[in-house]
Amino acid sequence: MLSARQNVPKALTVAGSDSGGGAGIQADLKTFNTLSVYGASVLTAITAQNTVGVQGIYALPVDFVEQQMESVLDDITFDAVKTGMLLNAEIIENVSRLFKSRSINHLVVDPVMVSTSGSRLLAENAIFALRKHLLPLAEIVTPNISEAEVLAEMKIKSLMDARDAARKLHTLGCKNVLVKGGHMPVDGRGNPVDVQLADGNSWVVDTLFDGDEFVEFRNRFVATENTHGTGCTLSAAITAGLAKGLKVRDSVEKAMLCVSKGLASSFSIGKGGGPLNHFPPVMNLSSEPSYRGGSFVQLLKSAYPQEWSDYVNHEFVRKLADGSLPIECFKHYIRQDYIFLRHYARANALASYREHDMDDIIKAAQIVTYIGMECQMHVKYCADWGISVDDLEATREATPNLAYTRYVLDRGMSGDRLDLRVALAPCLLGYGEVGVRLANDPATKREGNPYWTWIQNYAKDEFQAAVREGEELLEKLFDDMVPPTNHRRIKQLCDTFRQATILERNFWEMGLSLVP
């Protein structure tokens, strides 16, 4: 049996120090600790740094950097290692040599070049060394847009450019490339937005490439000046995930949720941009859902990230994207969706009944009217697939459909109006996310894809506007009805969202597996 000492996941960061505490090894070690990973560090440089900027950098002698590395590597077997600021070519070459001689597992390379405040953290002559010696050893490299431009020797002005840069970086030998999109937010159609003008309607798209497949991670842009240490924290969280045995994609996804939660509850500590929030109750994904400010909708999604990912990345969705979903599976799905819409209208009618203010009653009733119009369009859409109204009316309700719709109605009857809205939310939010992602993904098949029209319907401005209205309503109800310190109530709501998300996933599975 392994001892408790051996069971602890262990990670090493090789990076510079931030005297202000928001980035560098300070951010790395805070992140490791929050995610229940033991952290060790090797210093490459010491900075005089605060929230305003970097006032000075002192590179440690290369032989002392090497001595630190040999000291910890001789004693501790690390499950994952990350690099941050390496400063110059000599340090990069020596660190790379030691990594190679030690057969380091799961190396995460954060190619730190410029600080958030604009100070240069990597010498010009070090870029060649980084490309030649360190990147070929990396399990994953995590450049932001500016860093990817330098390493790939190209300009990045679009999501397609980000993919091209990822391809180029992959040819340097790293197994996975994550091009971070925080410096290039986009609108709902994937068009870049000036970062100074970006708001809650904008998206951050991070592009992961493993040499065969692209995966895009889309998260709402968090409008805050407190972004110091975001890149360090993300790469450290990825390292922590790898140290705990997660696959690269799962590590990246969970790390992004950590950063999103940290940004949403960030705070100012000085005269400049502060750090994101590293406190364990905020960032630790294994803890109970706990609200610390920011977006309630984001909390719902991030409380149980695996369930949300299983839903929006389901095999049914992937087969819609490449057009490989069997026709009979799609027909079964849209026949059941007709029945679902009927109960969806009932649930929203119940929501109208639950409201107290006349304006809110009318708004909820208008949603029912909209669902009625959507149902009429659905009937016409089904006709295009050879399914008549009589066929729809004769369709027997499948068990997963019954389980889902009755769960939503039960939450509306046994709970309050927020319980009902939360139970309804995964449908609206998930379809909105899937529609935008597939419509903007260059890998989605368009010509000859029988499901392209379906994808477009959920990517349209009208549907995306409905998603935003739904999000705003959830935020308002939460603010009005739930004290932020009522952790028990918050967990109840997150659990409701989780169960409805699982039932949404089962709805996809029903179509894929032809569940009666």
Single out the catalytic residue among 24, 84, 229, 511.
229
Cα 101-104-107 angle, rounded to 5 deg = 130
Residues 9, 240 contacting (CB under 8 angstroms): yes
**338: enclosing H helix or E strand:** helix 327-354
DSSP 465-515: HHHHHHHHHHHHHHHHH--TT-HHHHHHHHHHHHHHHHHHHHHHHHHHHT-
Residues 115, 77 contacting (CB under 8 angstroms): no
**Single-letter code of the amino acid located at 428:** L
- For the stretch 470-495, what's the b/e string if a residue is b when 16 or more beta carbons lie within 10 angstroms of its beta carbon? bbebbeebbeeebeeeeeeebebbbe
DSSP 45-76: EEEEE-SS-EEEEEEPPHHHHHHHHHHHHHH-
Residue 460 exposure: Cα atoms within 13 Å on the Cβ side: 9
- Residues forming beta bridges with residue 12, ordered by sequence position: 40, 81
Give the 3-state secondary structure of 241-303. HHHCCCCHHHHHHHHHHHHHHHHHCCCCCCCCCCECCCCHHHHCCCCCCCCCCCCHHHHHHHH
Annotation marks residue 232 as catalytic: yes
**206: enclosing H helix or E strand:** strand 203-209
Q: Do strands 214-220 and 203-209 pair parallel, antiparallel, or not at all (unpaired)?
A: antiparallel
Diameter of the chain measured on Cα atoms = 80
Annotation marks residue 229 as catalytic: yes
Single out the catalytic residue among 20, 84, 181, 231.
231
Q: Is the dihedral of CA 26, 32, 38, 41 positive or negative?
A: negative
- Residues 39 and 324: their CA atoms lie apart, in Å, by 45
Single out the catalytic residue among 10, 181, 232, 405.
232
Single out the catalytic residue among 230, 239, 496, 501.
230
Integer angstrom CA distances of residue 4 from 1, 9, 106 = 9, 10, 22
Single out the catalytic residue among 13, 44, 227, 405.
227
- Residues 479 and 295: their CA atoms lie apart, in Å, by 10
DSSP state of 144: B
Order the strands of the 176-179 sheet from edge to edge.
54-59, 38-49, 10-18, 80-83, 107-109, 140-141, 176-179, 203-209, 214-220
Annotation marks residue 230 as catalytic: yes
Residue 293 exposure: Cα atoms within 13 Å on the Cβ side: 11
Single out the catalytic residue among 10, 30, 82, 180.
180
Residues marked as catalytic: 180, 227, 229-232
